[in-house]
């Protein structure tokens, strides 16, 4: 197999989706699975749908194209406010999109009419993340205008939390979103199908028994893919945290005989965590770098220390045992490392799917929430 590569366990992704779908179903909340971090990888999207997600969501039209080309027929929603310049190509492939600008919604309506479709719109309301959103006080009037636009159907409202601000949502925000939904319905006399309460950062609040109010949908990416809460990075009970492994190959392995003083860090290398190496420390170079992933987002095997990285080299200290040239090392990515590596063209993506292969132990029988662990390939020791 080629290196570097990402090994993707589809059984674990399917299991994580299923687990979240079941738990949220108890609160009458459906799951829309978010595929942006994996560039709309069709195999992963299919595993999420098999796990019970009602539909998919992505931020990039190109990713949606990739999923449609792989014959995925389920509803797909664009969750980044569409670019005006792309309005034409969205209604033909997306059932709905999240919006905050009237000009864009008008353009989407025109495009939908030309495609002989009705395009669904979910209005994003700003409730504290300070990223996208219509201000709460303007929402009802905005919604009434959207309802008048030909080719458009107002499907609902949504909010987003913790992405820009890093602040988890609180009960107050959920209640506010619910009240806004009710106010729009009262003024328009029409029911809203979707009240989408947020992303993976909402899960701790919902699972702690908070009132979910009118919320009937969440858009989940990180919790499904990595099994963690994005705000704390703490594993969510019952989920696999090791569905993804990045594997890279050792290309140099040496003793550093001389003491190496840590150089004064120039601005360009501020991110290279240069550490002072003691006499006779072994180090190895691994063929992966900043162009491939977010190096600081990798968890290293415990026997290795991070010395630094450049665009295409990762240098690790190997104090316990040398790493053989040609051996492979596995790393577990956090969200930032995952999204970068999935977008890197020179990193191969390898999926494992025991359910569809019909052999081997299924992930359902394995134990989720094993300690986040990275391992050194046996031959590397
Ligand atoms: C990325 C994104 C999500 C998914 O966030 P996760 O933290 O990965 O669950 C949901 N909604 C919007 C609008 C997003 O941009």
199 lines ligand 1 (CB under 6 A): yes
Pair 377, 26: CB distance under 8 Å: no
Question: With 70 as the cut, is the pLDDT of residue 54 above it?
Answer: yes
Q: Quote the Cα angle for 160-162-164, to 5°.
A: 95
User: Using only C-alpha atoms, what is the Rg of the chain?
Assistant: 23
221 lines ligand 1 (CB under 6 A): yes
Q: What are phi and psi of 119, to 5 degrees?
A: -100, 130
Average pLDDT over residues 204-219: 95
d(CA 165, CA 142): 25
N residues, the chain = 381
Question: With 50 as the cut, is the pLDDT of residue 305 above it?
Answer: yes
Q: Look at 13-17, 83-87, 206-210, 260-264 and tell me which has the smallest mean pLDDT.
A: 260-264
- Give the pLDDT of residue 280: 55
Which residue reads 């002072």 in tokens?
Answer: 276
Question: Who has greater pLDDT, 273 or 339?
Answer: 339
Which residue reads 């609040």 in tokens?
Answer: 205
- Give the pLDDT of residue 261: 54
Question: With 60 as the cut, is the pLDDT of residue 21 above it?
Answer: yes
Express each pLDDT in 322-332 by its tens digit: 899 999 999 99
Torsion of CA 93, 99, 104, 109, to 10 degrees: 50
236 lines ligand 1 (CB under 6 A): no
- Residue 12 Cα to ligand 1 middle (Å): 20
Q: Which two tokens stand for residue 209?
A: 């028994």
Express each pLDDT in 118-157 by its tens digit: 999 999 999 987 888 999 999 999 999 999 999 999 999 9
CA 208, 211, 154, 146 torsion: positive or negative? negative
CA-based nearest residue to 240, from 266, 213, 215, 222: 222
CA-nearest residue, atom 2 of ligand 1: 199
Q: Which two tokens stand for residue 221?
A: 């990416």
- Give the pLDDT of residue 113: 98
- Give the pLDDT of residue 361: 42
Which residue reads 């045992």 in tokens?
Answer: 321
Question: With 50 as the cut, is the pLDDT of residue 373 above it?
Answer: no
d(CA 341, CA 270): 21
H-run or E-run covering 237: none
- Give the pLDDT of residue 319: 83
- Give the pLDDT of residue 57: 98
- Give the pLDDT of residue 27: 96
- Residue 200 Cα to ligand 1 middle (Å): 7
CA-based nearest residue to 87, from 113, 66, 63, 68: 113
- Give the pLDDT of residue 260: 52
- Residue 315 Cα to ligand 1 middle (Å): 33
d(CA 207, CA 209): 5
- Residue 381 Cα to ligand 1 middle (Å): 39
| Alpha-carbon separation of residue 7 from 13, 56, 242, 361 (angstroms) | 12, 22, 10, 17
For 32-52, give one letter per residue: b (16+ CB within 10 A) or e.
Answer: bbbbbbbbbbbbbbbbbbebb
Q: For the packed helices 139-147 and 171-188, what is the interaxial angle rounded to 10 degrees?
A: 40
Task: Give the rounded percent of residues in the chain with a pLDDT score beyond 90.
Answer: 78
Encode 190-255 in three state secondary structure: CCCCEEECCCHHHHHHHHCCCCCCCCCEEEECHHHHHCECCCCCCECCCCCCCCEEEEEEEEEEEE
Q: Look at 182-186, 275-279, 336-340, 373-377 and tell me which has the smallest mean pLDDT.
A: 373-377
Average pLDDT over residues 173-193: 95
CA-based nearest residue to 272, from 300, 313, 325, 332: 313
- Give the pLDDT of residue 151: 98
Express each pLDDT in 361-370 by its tens digit: 444 444 454 3
Question: Who has greater pLDDT, 335 or 167?
Answer: 335
53 lines ligand 1 (CB under 6 A): no
Q: Which of 79, 97, 99, 157 to mutate to test the pocket of ligand 1 (most atoms within 8 A of CB)?
A: 79
Q: The pTM is what?
A: 0.89
d(CA 128, CA 79): 18
The number of the ligand 1 atom at minimal distance from the alpha carbon of 224 is 9
CA-nearest residue, atom 13 of ligand 1: 79
- Give the pLDDT of residue 377: 31
- Give the pLDDT of residue 131: 87
Q: Which of 59, 163, 198 to mutate to test the pocket of ligand 1 (most atoms within 8 A of CB)?
A: 163
Q: Which of 37, 94, 160 to mutate to test the pocket of ligand 1 (most atoms within 8 A of CB)?
A: 160
59 lines ligand 1 (CB under 6 A): yes
222 lines ligand 1 (CB under 6 A): yes
- Give the pLDDT of residue 207: 95
160 lines ligand 1 (CB under 6 A): yes
Task: Give the rounded percent of residues in the chain with a pLDDT score beyond 70.
Answer: 87
- Residue 219 Cα to ligand 1 middle (Å): 6
- Give the pLDDT of residue 94: 98
For 297-321, give one letter per residue: b (16+ CB within 10 A) or e.
Answer: bbebbebbbbbbbeeeebbbbbeee
CA 74, 79, 80, 81 torsion: positive or negative? positive
- Residue 37 Cα to ligand 1 middle (Å): 9
| Alpha-carbon separation of residue 270 from 267, 278, 306 (angstroms) | 5, 21, 14
Confidence of residue 166 (pLDDT cuts 50, 70, 90): confident
Question: With 60 as the cut, is the pLDDT of residue 278 above it?
Answer: no
Torsion of CA 8, 9, 11, 17, to 10 degrees: -60
d(CA 311, CA 91): 39
């Amino acid at each position: 197999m080629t290196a570097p590569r990402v090994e993707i366990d589809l059984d674990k992704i399917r299991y994580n989706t299923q687990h979240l779908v079941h738990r949220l179903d108890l609160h009458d909340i459906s799951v829309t699975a978010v595929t942006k971090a994996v560039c709309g990888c069709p195999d992963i999207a299919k595993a999420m749908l098999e796990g019970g997600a009602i539909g998919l969501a992505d931020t990039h039209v190109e990713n949606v194209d990739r999923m449609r080309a792989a014959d995925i027929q389920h509803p797909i929603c664009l969750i980044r406010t569409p670019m005006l310049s792309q309005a034409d190509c969205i209604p033909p492939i997306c059932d709905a999109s999240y919006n905050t600008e009237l000009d864009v919604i008008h353009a989407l309506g025109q495009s939908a009419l030309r495609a002989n479709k009705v395009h669904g719109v979910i209005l994003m309301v700003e409730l504290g993340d300070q990223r996208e959103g219509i201000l709460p006080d303007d929402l009802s009037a905005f919604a009434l205008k959207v309802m008048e636009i030909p080719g458009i159907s107002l499907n609902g409202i949504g909010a987003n939390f913790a992405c820009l601000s890093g602040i988890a949502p609180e009960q107050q925000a959920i209640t506010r979103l619910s009240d806004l939904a009710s106010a729009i319905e009262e003024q328009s006399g029409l029911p809203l199908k979707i009240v989408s309460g947020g992303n993976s950062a909402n899960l701790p609040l919902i699972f702690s028994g908070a009132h979910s109010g009118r919320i009937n949908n969440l858009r989940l990416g990180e919790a499904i893919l990595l099994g963690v809460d994005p705000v704390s990075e703490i594993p969510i009970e019952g989920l696999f945290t090791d569905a993804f492994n990045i594997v890279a190959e050792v290309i140099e392995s040496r003793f550093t005989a001389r003491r190496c003083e840590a150089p004064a860090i120039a601005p360009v290398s501020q991110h290279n965590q240069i550490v002072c190496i003691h006499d006779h420390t072994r180090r190895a170079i691994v063929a992966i770098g900043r162009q491939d992933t977010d190096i600081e987002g990798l968890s290293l095997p415990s026997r290795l220390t991070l010395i630094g990285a450049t665009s295409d080299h990762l240098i690790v200290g190997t104090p316990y045992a040398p790493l053989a040239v040609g051996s492979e090392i596995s790393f577990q990515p956090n969200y930032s490392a995952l999204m970068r590596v999935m977008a890197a063209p020179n990193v191969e993506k390898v999926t494992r799917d025991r359910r569809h292969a019909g052999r081997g132990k299924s992930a359902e029988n394995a134990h989720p929430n094993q300690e986040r662990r990275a391992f050194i390939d046996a031959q590397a020791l």
